[in-house]
A and B are shown apart, each in its own frame.
Chain A
Amino acid sequence: MRTRTRVLLSVAASVAMAAAMSIPMSGQAGAVGRPGGLVGADGEGVAAGPAGPIPRRPDGHPDLTGTFNGSPGGVTHTVILEEHPGGFGVLGGQTLIIDPPSGIIPYQPWALEERNRRREDANGYEDQVGHCEFYDIGRIHSFTQEYTFSGNTFIIHATQHITRIVPMDRREHLPSGIRLWLGDPIGHWEGDTMVVDSTNFNDKTRMSLGGDFHGADAHIVERFQMLDANTVKWTMTIDNPKAFTRPWTMTSPALMKRLKPTPDFDVEDTCHEGNVDLVHLKNTYEKAHGPGWPWKNVEHGR
């Protein structure tokens, strides 16, 4: 008998190590590429039929129901959000940052220092994804996602057990004492665009394997704009004056394209149950910091 104990996240964390070894820290001064572009990857997945007009829900708003993917293949953009060279098995990628025009995340100096510290190979053990914990909402842009509605709630499913339940009938965020891995999302329509506004983060997540983060006080606004029946444009604007000099906006590596529905999907995503790689990250971490270095004392942001 084969037990479906798949180790997905720790594999990804290992990629971070490779990336950290091969990618220079000077990403802040790189040339500007096509926003949202991806170098060296192709293969669209299984696209659905020809695009038609935007399907509508009974209330007249776009019916986003369906399965979409915004990655033309590869996992490169969960590694680094800004433009980066390829190498060591990692696809090169152009920046996902569409604002500011430089394609560079406008970190405050302390935050850039912290991002670069996190990016170091020796600190990969701090990445919670390697521990089979939540991906940041800015880190699932390359995953296949499924959108659906339940009453007045918009629901985003992704692999790795990720489910974001977005109420559209709430006006205020949860009390600030409740801090959540994926934040507290509230949805509303602006024309044909589903706008998801999130606060109440806990600052334990990373936006990429390359160490990017937004901090607990971030205010994040995502826009899911249906362009035609098979295409959704997703953008995410992050604001947190404590960590950034100005708000900035990123998008997925490609427009989110509808995938042909598959006849069955009940594959169990497991991770922690088979996470045999975490010990290697720990060993690397302790080699650099000494055996007495306690994981729990690491400050996450400020």
Chain B
Amino acid sequence: MRHRVLTWLIAAAAVAATAHSVSPTIGAQTPAPGRRPPDLQGVWRAWNLAKYDLEDHGAKPGVPAGRGFVVDPADGRIPYKPEALAKREKNYAGTKDPDPWKNSDPLVKCYLPGIPRMTYLGWPFQIIQAPDYVYFVYEWAHKKRMIPIDSKVPLPKDETAWMGMARGHYEGNSLVVNLTNFNSYTWFDMAGNYHSDALQVVERYTPINADTLQYEATMTDPKVFTRPWTIRMTIQRQKDVGVLDYECTAMLDELGIHHTWPRDFDEEN
């Protein structure tokens, strides 16, 4: 027991040390003359059916029927390889289990939803622009993304992250975020649409009027899809009280669900 506690303490000290070494940067860099990034700042919310299913779909329990969001390919279908479709069906079948531990949707366990799913989960998020970074602050489980702008620092080759690793730049009137280094545990929606660790995502945030952003995300994953595919939707500005809080695991607590299940993907996969 003592040995175990000491191990924890050493780990905690390491955490404290890490806190020093990973401090963020806000420089006083001035943008190049004539190049003015679009103003994306504010509180935004995508309030649509994408969280249920990115494709056209009929009604399902608790889910309204509706149009999908895939604009490329033109048929609105996610271009799965034939052998990859079975896993999507199995994923969806597993979403009907009321026990979070047995339910197949990682979101039911309050795991990080990944990108682009976080964008259209339905909770507000705030965009904060600084010269070197763009911050996305999400109401859902107080998650945050820090997107380095024009970073020259190479990404690690052998590490993955739930939300991917981001490199951002401005292109005309758009913020473009290139995401790589995903793990294979996140989904795209509640219909079981999924990806592998080969996923690459390009997000594009473009203001189309004072209160509306156009959001596009292009997914490339040769292990699962036959070709890249793109979703597009609008995101509306929220003008009431800003980003509040939604602690997903605290909701499990309130329901009397102990989230003490074993984790099956710690460190190695």
By a beta-carbon cutoff of 8 Å, the part of chain A in contact with chain B is 1-5, 7-8, 11-12, 14-15, 17-18, 45-46, 65-67, 69, 71, 73-75, 88-90, 128, 131-134, 142-144, 146, 148, 150-151, 155, 157, 159, 161-163, 165, 167, 174, 178, 180-182, 204, 259, 261-270, 272-279, 282, 294-296
Q: Which residue of A lies closest to B260 (CB)?
A: A279
Residue pair B130, A148 in contact (C-beta under 8 Å):
yes
B248 neighbours in A (Cβ, 8 Å) = 272
Residue pair B253, A296 in contact (C-beta under 8 Å):
yes
Q: A3-B269, A146-B26 are in contact. List 15 more A-B contacts (CB 8 A).
A: A2-B268, A3-B183, A5-B263, A15-B9, A73-B17, A128-B250, A159-B22, A165-B137, A165-B242, A178-B244, A204-B250, A262-B25, A272-B141, A273-B112, A279-B262
A-B contact count (CB 8 A): 216
Residue pair B9, A18 in contact (C-beta under 8 Å):
yes
Residue pair B142, A163 in contact (C-beta under 8 Å):
yes
- In the complex, what distance in Å separates the CA atom of A73 from the CA atom of B19? 10
Within 8 Å by CB of A1, from B15, B130, B148, B197, lies B197
User: 5 A-B contacts, Cβ less than 8 Å apart?
Assistant: A17-B5, A131-B249, A150-B128, A272-B141, A276-B262
Residue pair B266, A132 in contact (C-beta under 8 Å):
no
- In the complex, what distance in Å separates the CA atom of A272 from the CA atom of B165? 19
Q: Is B65 an interface residue (CB 8 A)?
A: no
Residue pair A132, B249 in contact (C-beta under 8 Å):
yes
A12 neighbours in B (Cβ, 8 Å) = 12, 15
Which residue, of B20, B110, B137, has the highest number of chain A Cβ atoms within 10 A? B20
The size of the chain B interface, using a CB distance under 8 A, is 74
Shortest CB-to-CB span from A301 to chain B, Å, is 16
Shortest CB-to-CB span from A153 to chain B, Å, is 8
Residue pair B263, A267 in contact (C-beta under 8 Å):
no
Q: Which residue of A lies closest to B24 (CB)?
A: A265
Please give me the 3 A-B residue pairs with the lowest Cβ-Cβ distance, nearest first: A279-B260, A45-B20, A89-B9
Q: Is B16 an interface residue (CB 8 A)?
A: yes
Shortest CB-to-CB span from A247 to chain B, Å, is 26
